[in-house]
Chain A
Amino acid sequence: MSVRKYRYWKETVFLIILAFFFLFPFGIVVLTSFRTQQDVVSGGVFALPNSLRWDNFPEAWRIGKFRVYYRNSLLVTLIKVPTGIFVAALAAYPLAKYRFRIRDSLFAFFLLGLGIPINIVLLPLTILLERIGLLNTLGALFFPYIVFGLPFQILVLRGFFRGIPDELIDAARIDGCAEFQTFWRIILPLATPAVLALFIIDFLATWNELLMALIFIHSDEWKTVPLGLMYFQGQFASSYPIINAGVLIAILPVLGVYILLQRYFVSGITAGALKE
């Protein structure tokens, strides 16, 4: 037992030192966001705040127009994430359970998307979205976001569906279930753990996305949280406490989702990349 304790002692010290460096930036953000500009400038970044200044948060929320950005990001994620996963599940089911000639090539074709960078679609989609009147609206983000989520989601869901025994599907068919009903009533409910993990992963990815929003959205009215935060920082660059309060406002939802749901999330990340 004493040997074992000694073994972990070294490792624990290493972990604690590293954890300090990983938490340090968060600490700086929190520390700065509760102070006045005057206090930061005169007291230095490491000093404790003179007094906790909560006002920075409502002020950042108001002058940063975060109400608008939150609304937009929530709308995009709440509509896009379920739709995207549903479309991916529809495609993953035949790729996992049907036998037809081009199945494997079709699957490989979808997987190619894993290696295709967003850059390649930016200009063509700007032109296309302009033509169909979606540019500079939230709708502009909908399909491009779905496309870049599909490959990973199809990969994970196909893997999961393959683990479901064929007998279940055959039984449903004998009972007279149509193909879509089989999928909707039998297959999808069984895949709940995978679907849940994908929901969280896709929520984070969608909430955080910058590049496409930067190109497709110009007016303040439709900016998402990352895009809005970027402009907010550009405008108030030297008001450090306000900027840091804005950062906290922007990251609170992702940190919350991550901390509360990390158990499901971890299994999904690894399932997609590694496990059968």
Chain B
Amino acid sequence: MMTKGLVRLQRLWSAYWLLLPALSIYVVFLLYPMVFSFLISLYQWDGLAPVKKFVGLENYRVFFSDPASLLALKNNIIWMLFMIAIPVALGLVLAVILNERVPGRTAFRAIFYSPTVLPLVAVGIIWSWIYNPTFGAVNSFFRLVGLPELTRPWLSDPKVALYSVILTGIWQGTGFPMLLFLAGLQTIPRELYEAAEIDGASRIQSFWYITIPSLRETFVIVVSILMIGSLKVFDLIYIMTWGGPGRLTQVMSTWMYFNTFVFHKAGFGSAIAWIITVASLGIAYPYIRAMSRR
């Protein structure tokens, strides 16, 4: 009995030993910086000078009353709504079609997913070239078909700049939900559809009454992941518009970057980082809960 207890103890020890590398990296490079970042957010500080001024939660209050910051928040919400609605709808339609024995389905799946594996820097540069006001493909196309009044500087016209980048985001971001929906569809038993067909249900009815309800969990996961991703959006905006024209296309992440590292408002920037984090963790909560209960 003595040895059995000893073995158990040994095993427990090794559990902690095995966890130690991951835990220590987590604590040093994630938890400690998070606490540090919160402390910085309570100060007015340029990020360099040895003197800081304690201002309490002032930076957070300023964020929610500053028009430029609220615009970044609003832009981010617009980005999120588009980046959920269109990639989810399009991804679902594509998944449903590609789940059937359509000729060339493997090739189509690879095509629709391929933009997702690209570095966003490259995606931004590619689309900046497509949107180029003088030589770009979009304006060239409109001139070619005799609609020159539709040409515009897509990335510097205040009315369309954000939406131009959103279109790029959709091109890049539709493959991922498609892939998850395809996996979700494969878990629905074929017999359900066969039974519905025998009962005289149309394909549309099957879609609404079998496919959609069966994909409930997939929807939660897809929407959570897309929302978290939308809150983090940085690369495309940074590459394509640099937050401009003016500050009109700033989103939370770029706004945090500009304040912290360009305007040297480290305290304010850290407050923005914390606001993004709290929002992101709130959104991620159902997803994390679903994952940790397995």
Contact = CB atoms under 8 A, between A and B. Distances in A.
Interface of A: 8, 11-12, 14-15, 18-19, 21-26, 28-29, 32, 40-41, 44-46, 87-88, 90-91, 93-95, 98, 100, 104, 106-108, 110-125, 127-128, 143-144, 146-147, 150, 154-155, 159, 178-180, 183, 204, 207-208, 210-211, 215, 225-227, 229-230, 233, 240, 243-244, 247, 250-251, 254-255, 257-259, 262, 266, 269-270, 273-276
A8 B100 contact: yes
Interface in B1-57: 10-12, 14-16, 18-19, 21-23, 25-26, 28-30, 32-34, 36-37, 40, 47
Contacts of B103: 8, 12
Contacts of B129: 28-29, 32, 240, 243-244
Chain A to chain B: the 5 pairs with minimum beta-carbon distance, closest first: A115-B284, A270-B183, A124-B33, A91-B22, A208-B119
A124 B28 CA distance: 11
Contact of A107 (B128, B277, B292): B292
Contacts of B122: 226, 229, 247, 250-251
A215 B261 contact: yes
B108 A19 contact: yes
B97 A11 contact: yes
Contact of A270 (B16, B33, B180): B180
Contact of A115 (B21, B269, B281): B281
A122 B260 contact: yes
Contact of B276 (A117, A204, A255): A117
A98 B12 contact: yes
Contact of A11 (B102, B115, B235, B253): B102
Contacts of A146: 25, 29
A100 B234 CA distance: 40
Contacts, number: 276
Contact of B22 (A29, A150, A229): A150
A119 B257 contact: yes
A154 B121 CA distance: 28
Contacts of B100: 8, 11
B119 A25 contact: no
> Considering residues A111, A225, A274, which has the most beta carbons from chain B within 10 angstroms of its beta carbon?
A274
23 contacts: A21-B171, A29-B126, A45-B137, A88-B22, A94-B14, A115-B283, A115-B287, A117-B276, A117-B280, A122-B273, A124-B33, A125-B33, A146-B25, A183-B18, A210-B121, A211-B235, A211-B257, A226-B119, A230-B125, A247-B125, A250-B122, A257-B117, A269-B180
B277 A117 contact: yes
A21 B115 CA distance: 12
B232 interface: yes
Contacts of B101: 8
A37 to B, nearest CB: 10
A20 B52 CA distance: 55
A230 to B, nearest CB: 5
A257 B132 CA distance: 30
A113 B291 CA distance: 13
B221 A274 contact: yes
A123 B258 CA distance: 12
Given A46-B140, A119-B257, A119-B276, A204 B117 contact: yes
A9 B250 CA distance: 43
B114 interface: yes
B115 A22 contact: yes
A122 B260 CA distance: 9
Interface in B129-146: 129-130, 132, 135-137, 140-141, 144
A124 B291 contact: no
Contacts of A12: 102-104
B18 A113 contact: no
Contact of B14 (A26, A112, A124, A179): A179
A259 B150 CA distance: 37
Given A22-B114, A100-B12, A247-B126, A114 B287 contact: yes
Contacts of B195: none
Given A98-B11, A111-B291, A117-B232, A90 B18 contact: yes
Contacts of B176: 269
